[in-house]
């Protein structure tokens, strides 16, 4: 019986994970669940799955949860330290907190040598080398949940040792749907609303990643994620627009072979794959009927339409704390857009300014990364304040 902690249980990935777990009560036991502010939703999950521990964001939230769970033997706590504890205590950790807030607990799971199912791409983008070093040093297991990276993982040889050349890998082809604004007149992007940006054509996801998909910063973060997960230099990673989201990514080999993973766009497939790896379990996802799909399209991304994609490649090539700078500026700008304080196109302008007006250095320690994150947030907030004044 595998014990599981879900960090970010009330989010889109958290809910899909619980859906898969509920299908296999003989294999998995929920050890702990966390949520930031949605205490009612967490209480309902706790009643259904009876974890040993539950963690929320604040003392107030913990008191409310305790009242809702009156009588149930569930230890309730709040804050980052408690998140780090539940991440270190279970066999397997689903890292599904959104943004930089997930870094500390995900790193705690790595340092405890746990099996990490990584959805929280921002943690890896911020701290790439340090995180991968911690995984290796503490013999943790890292399995990708992001559908593209899970597809790449499935398309690589079992014995892949983060050395693309040794396995004959010529290119990693990272597919992208192109989001809701792939064909929209660029001039009108200034005025799109948060709801329009969050209306993804093929996936249903949390609001931050949905905006990231509309700017294609999500794909930019995924390029950096692929670099760290698979040891692939920036030049080996190519983004391909594929609007149907049926091929989740591909690996092109030096002999001309291209291996791909296909499936309906439903995150329960990569979640079930990573949970059971190297076995296979039922995920609840319908079998892909390829004749129903009929046509698969592919096109090159337009970097002028999606400047965030170019900024992410730039940050990856710059290295050090540049990706942490990019990520922090993006988190602040996306939140400001969701709060209708700035326009959609201000997102890429803010990130570009923060990246080009601030120094970045070596990512020598987590403290250095967090300091860069804090400086970038401050710089981005300053620009937002100017724009929304």
Residues at the site binding ligand NAD, with contacts judged by CB under 6 A = 8-14, 35-36, 38, 57, 96-98, 101, 119-122, 146, 203, 205-206, 208-209, 267
Phi, psi of 379 (to 5 degrees): -65, -40
**Least distance in Å: CB of 177 to ligand NAD?**
12
- Residue showing the smallest CB distance to ligand NAD in the complex: 11
- Choose from ligand NAD, Mg ion, none: what does 349 bind? Cβ within 5-8 Å by kind: none
- Least distance in Å: CB of 214 to ligand NAD? 13
Size of interface with Mg ion, in residues (CB under 5 A): 3
CB 386 within 8 A of CB 346: no
Q: Which two tokens stand for residue 87?
A: 């991440």
**What, of Mg ion, ligand NAD, none, does residue 10 touch, CB below 5 to 8 Å by kind?**
ligand NAD
User: Which residues ranging from 141 to 160 are in contact with Mg ion (CB under 5 A)?
Assistant: 146-148
Residue nearest to Mg ion (CB): 146
Q: Is the backbone peptide bond immediately before 278 cis, with ω within 30 degrees of 0?
A: yes
Within 176-262, where are the H helices? 194-197, 207-215, 217-230
Using the minimum distance from each CB to ligand NAD, give the nearer residue, 223 or 358.
223
Q: Which is nearer to Mg ion, 211 or 384 (CB)?
A: 211
Signed CA dihedral, 39, 42, 48, 49: sign only: negative
Q: How far is the CB of 342 from ligand NAD (least distance, A)?
A: 20
Taking the complex as a whole, the smallest distance from the CB of residue 6 to ligand NAD amounts, in Å, to 8
Nearest to ligand NAD of 177, 358 (CB atom): 177
Q: Which is nearer to ligand NAD, 13 or 86 (CB)?
A: 13
CA neighbor of 311 nearest in space, from 265, 367, 376: 376
Answer left, alpha or beta for residue 162, where phi above 0 means left and psi between -120 and 50 means alpha: left
Indicate which of Mg ion, ligand NAD, none lies near residue 13 (CB less than 5 to 8 Å, by partner kind): ligand NAD
Burial of 113 (0-12, 13-18, 19+ CB in 10 A): middle
Q: Which is nearer to ligand NAD, 218 or 372 (CB)?
A: 218
Nearer to Mg ion, 148 or 266 (CB): 148
Around Cβ 320, how many Cβ atoms within 10 Å?
Answer: 18
Q: Are 281 and 27 spatial neighbours (Cβ–Cβ below 8 Å)?
A: yes
Residue closer to ligand NAD (CB basis): 104 or 387: 104
**Strand ranges (E), the chain:** 2-7, 28-34, 53-56, 75-78, 92-95, 115-118, 141-144, 169-176, 237-241, 247-253, 258-262
Q: Which does 220 bind (CB under 5 to 8 A by kind): Mg ion, ligand NAD, none?
A: none
Closest distance to ligand NAD from the beta carbon of 176 (Å) = 12
Residues in touch with Mg ion (CB under 5 A): 146-148
């Amino acid at each position: 019986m595998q014990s599981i902690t879900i960090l970010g249980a009330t989010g889109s990935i958290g809910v899909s994970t619980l859906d898969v777990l509920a299908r296999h009560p003989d294999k998995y036991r929920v050890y702990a669940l966390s949520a930031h502010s949605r205490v009612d939703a967490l209480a309902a999950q706790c009643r259904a799955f009876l974890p040993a521990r539950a963690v929320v964001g604040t003392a107030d939230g913990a008191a409310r949860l305790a009242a809702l769970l009156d009588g149930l033997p569930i230890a309730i706590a709040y804050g980052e330290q408690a998140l780090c504890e539940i991440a270190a205590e279970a066999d397997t950790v689903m890292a599904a907190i959104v943004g930089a807030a997930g870094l500390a607990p995900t790193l705690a799971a790595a340092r405890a040598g746990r099996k990490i199912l990584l959805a929280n791409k921002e943690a890896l983008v911020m701290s790439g080398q340090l995180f991968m070093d911690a995984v290796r040093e503490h013999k943790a297991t890292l399995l990708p949940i992001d559908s593209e990276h899970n597809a790449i993982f499935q398309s690589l040889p079992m014995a892949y040792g983060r050395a693309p050349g040794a396995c004959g890998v010529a290119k990693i082809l990272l597919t992208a749907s192109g989001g809701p604004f792939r064909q929209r007149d660029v001039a009108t992007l200034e005025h799109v609303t948060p709801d329009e940006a969050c209306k993804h054509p093929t996936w249903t996801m949390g609001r931050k990643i949905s905006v990231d998909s509309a700017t294609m910063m999500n794909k930019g973060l995924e390029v950096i994620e692929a670099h760290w997960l698979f040891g692939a230099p920036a030049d080996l990673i190519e983004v391909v627009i594929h609007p149907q989201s049926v091929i989740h990514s591909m690996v092109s080999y030096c002999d001309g072979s291209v291996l791909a993973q296909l499936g309906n766009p439903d995150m329960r497939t990569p979640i079930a794959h990573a949970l059971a790896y190297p076995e296979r379990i039922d995920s609840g996802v319908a079998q892909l009927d390829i004749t129903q799909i009929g046509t698969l399209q592919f096109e090159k991304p337009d970097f002028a339409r999606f400047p965030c994609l170019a900024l992410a490649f730039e940050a990856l090539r710059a290295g050090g704390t540049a990706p942490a700078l990019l990520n922090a500026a993006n988190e602040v700008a996306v939140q400001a857009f969701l709060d209708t304080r700035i326009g959609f196109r201000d997102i890429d302008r803010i990130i570009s300014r923060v990246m080009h007006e601030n120094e970045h250095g070596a990512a020598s320690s987590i403290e250095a990364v967090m300091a860069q994150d804090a400086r970038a947030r401050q710089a981005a907030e300053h620009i937002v304040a100017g724009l929304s004044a």
